[in-house]
Structure 1
């Protein structure tokens, strides 16, 4: 047995230890978002459709924060891999200060532009009125959630995935308790309806932020001095990673906007079913999402240390896990699609359409997961531009054209089949690109390098 062969079980155990806390946390976090939608579905098709129209903008906010989180995690892990602990502390302070400011500006902008945006997405006047009461607390929840995410990024960059996982579970449990109370009310206290779901999320995230702040104050991961000089020095490198990473993360919200515009032409029930399917998509990708959080800091440390052999082993193992897990889960969900739709949807029409979407889409997420892992790894391994191009190709060369053409040819059935085909094509293309990149010889890049 070779040294490489003997290291694989140990490598798998380390990957498991790094990933399972984040997987449980992601499961809890995305699970409560699905529960939100399930509760809202009990209010009727109109509130569920109103919430569904906000998903692309919520993904936009998440895209910006994830892009920044990817960049800071990559820089901190590289600094640690190169033995620059003081620089890592300065970077940790900067991400919290800059991230909070950027996200505050973005949420205020989305509040000011809500009417033209939702009108362009296809929401009528009655739906926009429902959205207005929900959008303000939802944007507040998004800002507090972004603060939490930046804190999670610091812990992950330092190799601690347990605390973020625990806090995700805690905030999800708080949200689950508050949802029915704030949406439907209790006894003499009336419920808030659709806005109650957003307020429940805001309160849950605020509690998590307080706990995270207390734990962060006990570490030595932050610095108070030298921040201005570090900002000037690291800004070009940060922009070189964060810019392409943000564009990569902003492409899915843009694609979601275009997709929901296509779905809106099929009717209100189709929009409601598509919204539930979108929540189910992110929940079913929990292992992939956990790996996109736990794997890049590890890859970044290998990148900083020039250990490309370990990078090869990590990527092969991660892709095997993703394909086997997502394919098994997708086929199981497809077989149980009627029962899942019955559990989540309110009206019979929405249930039938949701079941149809599940049968086509869930198995295709094995290929989608491959693409997500490759894009996430790209930002940690010094080729953010290639990662951005792969993300763009997935959405605009494969997914959206197939989805649009399918809807034109076969309505909702054609749309679902087209989306699944687009995911499959994107996964195969990403795997081929990764093989080509990792097959080429590498030199150890400098810490400040961009595309490698």
Structure 2
């Protein structure tokens, strides 16, 4: 028998932790896997155009991920605020917060996309793109920037649904967009019948069309079908107040996420000193990393609402237990993912490498970088959990430590000592060291938070725990 979103929201507070977390996560694994697999298909089709086209996409990754990171950060803020309100039984406040979140995110992403569009020449020149590759980048990014707002609304809307315990609908929307992109990619890139071959520009157009489908679906669901949000915020004053609350978590979370493309930009510039084939392989490897990290990405979307609702209800034992369950799952899954990537390395090289040098660098990437994916997942989940506990500045501090105290310096040092293999090894070492810091940080914080919970909330949590034990005993 299927479980409704409302029942899942109740299970978050009272149900057995591992099964409840898994019931929330598996639909997201499907959605994320479908979406990312089609992005890999996107990279595959572009690689058929040539090494320069694949290198161009590699250069765009830090920039596109900056816009996406802002959206992810705002989604984290949206999910944390709404889930905590739901945990405290404030459904009206959750509804108003969701409405303001959509308008706020659309405005901020439109502004960031406009800045990126106007400063494109400066950005990609500094990243080391040659004149010929820069022309290819422009043909892709000019379309991408114009459609960026169509990407942000589905992502924020999905955060509203996940905060309420509905993870199946967001996964279906993500899968629909990914499927649409995969179908349109070869048609628009290579042409079909009366449709001309648009090359790398066709890939960008396919993405914007697929985002439009997700935009239409999420607006219909949130406003007209389920009436979870209003078309407009209740008032300008209310929008301002709710935006401040959302941004208090969303901006530090977005800043933390945007540190990743900044670090990737630095690494891309270092990799570019080894030539265009190295950038092409590095860009392909980054996309392989995303598909190898499907469970991490899914848990980073479902663990925060679980933590926020239980935090709102004063149930810190469930917060810590859910965090530990998630980390164990990520370590186990990523160990399996590493073995699978090694076994599939010849297939990966055949799919993405049209050049012997690209194949060689890609092999180094696959042998070394996935060794750190499990501990990297622990850092990502710790970061999202800190945001769920309304501690965004601590999450931002953790990201700073990971990327600019550990990852970039150790990767640079590795490159100086051993070239690209050393760069990859430096990143793995950085992730291991940061994961240890992250775990100790989170456990100390949650132990401290126990003393801040009001007695009434503790009594309510104890009553819920007792009721849960009785129901399991029965």
> Structure 2-normalised TM-score?
0.89
Paired with 1:424 and 1:8, the residues of 2 have a C-alpha distance of: 34
Match for residue 277 of structure 1 among 265, 270, 285: 285
1:47 corresponds to 2:49: no
Which residue of structure 2 lines up, in the alignment, with residue 371 of structure 1?
379
Cα contact 1:147–1:209 (8 A) shared by 2: yes
Matched, 1:257 2:265: yes
Distance change >3 Å, CA 439–CA 83, structure 1 → 2: closer
Q: Are positions 1:299 and 2:293 aligned together?
A: no
Contact 2:189–2:203 (8 Å) recurs in 1: yes
Deviation at 1:9, TM superposition (A): 9.3
Match of 1:208 in 2: 214
Is 127-136 or 137-146 further displaced after alignment? 137-146
Residue pair 1:331, 1:363 contacting (<8 A) in 2 also: no
Task: For residue 402 of structure 1, report the CA deviation from its aligned partner.
Answer: 1.3
Whether the 8 Å contact between 2:383 and 2:398 is mirrored in structure 1 is: yes
1:98 has 2:104 as partner: yes
Q: Residue 218 of structure 1 corresponds to which residue in structure 2?
A: 225
CA distance in 2 between counterparts of 1:257 and 1:237 reads 31
Q: 1:441: Cα distance to partner?
A: 5.3
When structure 1 is superposed on structure 2, of 210-219 and 404-413 the one drifting more is: 210-219
* CA–CA separation in structure 2 for the residues paired with 1:316 and 1:188: 55
- Structure 2 CA distance for partners of 1:419 and 1:225, relative to 1, 3 Å: closer
Q: Which moved more, 1:180-189 or 1:68-77?
A: 180-189
The Cα of 1:207 is off from its aligned counterpart by 1.3
**What per-residue deviation string (whole Å, max 9, x for no partner) do you get for residues 397-435 of structure 1?**
111111111111111111121122222222222122223
Q: 2:422 aligns with which of 405, 414, 420?
A: 414
Distance 1:225 1:192, change over 3 A: closer
**1:339 aligned to which of 327, 347, 353:** 347
- The structural deviation recorded for 1:202 is 0.9
Q: CA shift at 1:347, angstroms?
A: 1.9
137, 148, 156: which one aligns with 1:131: 137
1:169 corresponds, among 166, 171, 175, to: 175
Give unmatched runs, 5+ long, in structure 1.
1-6, 447-452
| Per-residue deviation, residues 214-240 of structure 1 (Å, max 9, x unmatched) | 222111311356333323433443232
Q: Are the aligned partners of 2:320 and 2:443 in contact in 1 as well (CA < 8 Å)?
A: no
Over 3 Å counting, the alpha-carbon distance change for 1:225 and 1:284 in structure 2 is closer
- The SS at the match of 2:228 is coil
Which residue of 403, 419, 427 corresponds with 1:395? Answer: 403
In structure 2, the CA distance between the partners of 1:231 and 1:8, relative to structure 1 (3 Å rule), is: closer
CA RMSD of aligned residues (A): 1.8
**Aligned residues of 1:334 and 1:363 also touching (Cα < 8 A):** no
Query: How far has the Cα of 1:443 moved from its partner?
Result: 3.4
Residues 84 and 308, structure 2, Cα contact 8 Å, conserved in 1: yes
Aligned to 2:8: none
Q: Provide the TM-score with structure 1 as the length reference.
A: 0.93
In 2: Cα distance, 1:41 partner to 1:78 partner: 44
The 2-side partners of 1:352 and 1:398 are apart by 26
Query: Which residues of structure 2 form unaligned runs of 5+?
Result: 1-12, 455-474
Q: Residue in 2 aligned with 1:380?
A: 388
Correspondence for 2:6 = none
**Distance of 1:8 and 1:299 partners within structure 2:** 12
Report deviation, 1:91.
0.8
Alpha-carbon distance between aligned partners in 2 of 1:233 and 1:37, rounded to the nearest angstrom:
42
Q: Is the 8 A contact 1:90 1:227 kept in 2?
A: no
- Look up the match of 2:446: 438
Q: Residues 74 and 380 of structure 1 are in contact (CA less than 8 Å); yes or no, is this contact kept in structure 2?
A: yes
Going from structure 1 to structure 2, the CA distance change for 1:303 and 1:116 (only over 3 Å counts) comes to: same
Q: Summarize deviations over 1:324-353 as a string: whole Å, max 9, x none.
A: 111221133134323322222222221221
CA shift at 1:203, angstroms?
Answer: 0.8
Q: Is the 8 A contact 1:303 1:444 kept in 2?
A: no
- 2:434 maps to 426
How big is the shift at 1:444? 4.7
DSSP 3-state at the match of 1:190: coil
Give 1:374 shift.
0.2
